[in-house]
Chains A and B, each alone.
Chain A
Amino acid sequence: MPPFQTVIDQHQDEVYRLALSAVGPVDADDCFQETLLAALRAYPTLRDASNLRGWLLTIAHRKAMDHHRARGRAPVPVGDVRDLDGGVAPPPTIEDAEIWAAVRDLPPKQSLAVAHRFVNDLAYRDIGRLMGCTEAAARRSVHEGLTRLKKEYVK
């Protein structure tokens, strides 16, 4: 196995972009860090170094799903609805923060599919494999997500 630092150097941007688009600017750091921590924990037992990028993105995908699931279950504080609805201040380092927040607010399947496709340039076949669906279903999720983004976001 290559030194873990080398793996991060090569793929940290991709993992971060996926986290950013899947869970939004506020939680991206945490999702990114959870992904790398899980990867580092499992790293010594990994036997095949031929697709480390795919391995990392799979973990990131799972962490993002966990995050969406937790968010779905989290109780909504009374009188705080507007704040949950886009009143969250993005970290100042991300210039185009609203777009990431908008992608995050798509239904989880669409949000992840759009992230995989446009943020990390994955092929539909690979997106399907990551999401456990067919290539056609992956294509559909991306299309639906994008249509919704354009309709609701681009004025």
Chain B
Amino acid sequence: MTSIESRLRRRDDVAAAAERAARGFRTRASEEGLVDIAYGWVDSPLGKLMAAATDDGLVRLGFETERVETTLEELARKVSPRILQDDVRLEKIKRQLGEYFEGRRKAFDMPIDRQLIHGFHRLVLDATEKIPYGDVSTYQQVAERAGNPRASRAAGNALGSNPIPIVIPCHRVVRTGHGLGGYGGGLDKKQLLLDLEGVTL
């Protein structure tokens, strides 16, 4: 006969019930406007991507090579700690990324929250957003369009710290003379994205 104490201590069957109740909590929290950042996962040929969005739009896209805990902690510090996993709120973003990776989408149509991008970096990434699908620019050209033709190194830094890669297409910026240049997520990923868009250097 199982004692009362040991029956109270049983854990296994409670976890599933807690998870179900937690889903209900996420819905209620979202309805009450208590979630400042919703995040979720997107499958892609580059591996799993973590997408995070505020009410204003997509604020962060991370490769799985970055530690997700670190990315979330950074968002908690810089934006808000009211962060919940909520795939429902990221549906539009996930769908468009899926279409892009299948080659069916050439431009993204989603709100973007640029609050993590400051100063000159903002100008560089704004210029980068204007490079069309299947095209490339050089670091030099992007620096010029951002208003400082001599700042190609600073432009490189801005691109390297792009919080929303792929959607802000920093992979379309290459070295003068058509070297690949650098990429935060790894050069193989940059090559894969350019291949996908049909770019040959």
Using a CB–CB cutoff of 8 Å, the interface residues on chain A facing chain B are: 1-6, 8, 12-13, 15-17, 20-21, 28-29, 32-33, 36-37, 40-41, 43-44, 91, 93-96, 99, 103, 114, 118-119, 146, 149-150, 153-154
Contacts and interface: CB of A to CB of B under 8 A. Distances in A.
Given A4-B84, A43-B81, A146-B5, A32 B10 contact: no
Contacts of B32: 37
Given A91-B17, A119-B9, A3 B75 contact: yes
A154 B3 CA distance: 9
A101 B24 CA distance: 22
A8 B60 CA distance: 22
Given A6-B69, A33-B25, A119-B9, A149 B4 contact: yes
Interface of B: 1, 4-5, 7-11, 13-22, 24-25, 28-29, 32, 34-35, 39, 69, 72-73, 75-76, 80-85
B28 A37 contact: yes
A98 B120 CA distance: 64
Contacts of A2: 73, 76, 81
Contacts of A37: 25, 28-29, 32, 34
Given A12-B18, A43-B81, A118 B5 contact: yes
A32 B21 CA distance: 7
Contact of A95 (B13, B21, B85): B13
A5 B72 CA distance: 9
A29 B28 CA distance: 12
B29 A28 contact: no
Given A13-B11, A37-B29, A99-B7, A28 B22 contact: no
Task: Tell me what chain B mostly uses at the interface: helix, strand, loop, or mixed.
Answer: helix
B72 A17 contact: no
Given A12-B22, A33-B24, A4 B82 contact: yes
Contacts of B73: 2-3
A96 B13 contact: yes
A103 B8 contact: yes
B15 A6 contact: no
A6 B25 contact: no
A114 B76 contact: no
Contacts of A118: 5, 8-9
Q: List 3 A-B pairs, minimum CB-CB distance, nearest first.
A: A16-B18, A3-B83, A1-B81
B7 A44 contact: no
Nearest to A41: B34
Contact of A6 (B10, B17, B72, B80): B72
B199 to A, nearest CB: 37
Nearest to B69: A6
A44 B82 contact: yes
A3 B35 CA distance: 11
Nearest to B24: A33
Contacts of A3: 72-73, 75-76, 81, 83
A20 B17 contact: yes
Contact of B13 (A4, A6, A29, A93): A93
